[in-house]
Amino acid sequence: MQPDVSFVIAAYNAEATLDRAIASAMAQRDVAIEVIVVDDRSNDRTRDVARAYPQDIVTVVALPANRGPGGTRNAGLDLARGRWVAVLDSDDAV
């Protein structure tokens, strides 16, 4: 089933804030969602935080090289399957 909304979250060393961002996206009601977290070569536990969520809702992508915020978002946009896309920073909440 195609999600209504794809949340794309670019993350770099975001272990302290990423949980809140993902949880806020998952808290949306009356829409089917997917969350795509793209890790931009973090050297903290960013990937571990993202991978703690159900894989059928949260997709985690680890980039092989640092691409910066724009490149990281674009990598997530390439994977988005939703009818709509929402870009959410790793230190934001919906």
Q: Does residue 10 sit within a domain?
A: yes
1 three-class SS: coil
Tens-place pLDDT, residues 11-51: 999 999 999 999 999 999 999 999 999 999 999 999 999 99
| pLDDT for residue 61 is more than 90 | yes
CATH number, domain containing residue 75: 3.90.550.10
Tell me what pLDDT residue 31 has.
97
| Domain limits for position 76 | 5-87
- Residue 7: name the closest of 56, 71, 79, 64 by CA: 79
Please report whether residue 93 resides in a domain.
no
3-class SS string, 25-93: HHCCCCCCEEEEEEECCCCCCHHHHHHCCCCCCEEEEECCCCCHHHHHHHHHHHHCCCCEEEECCCCCC
The count of domains in the chain is: 1
Q: Is 26 within the bounds of a domain?
A: yes
Whether the pLDDT of residue 55 is over 90: the answer is yes
Task: Report whether pLDDT(1) > 90.
Answer: no
Q: Is residue 92 part of a domain?
A: no
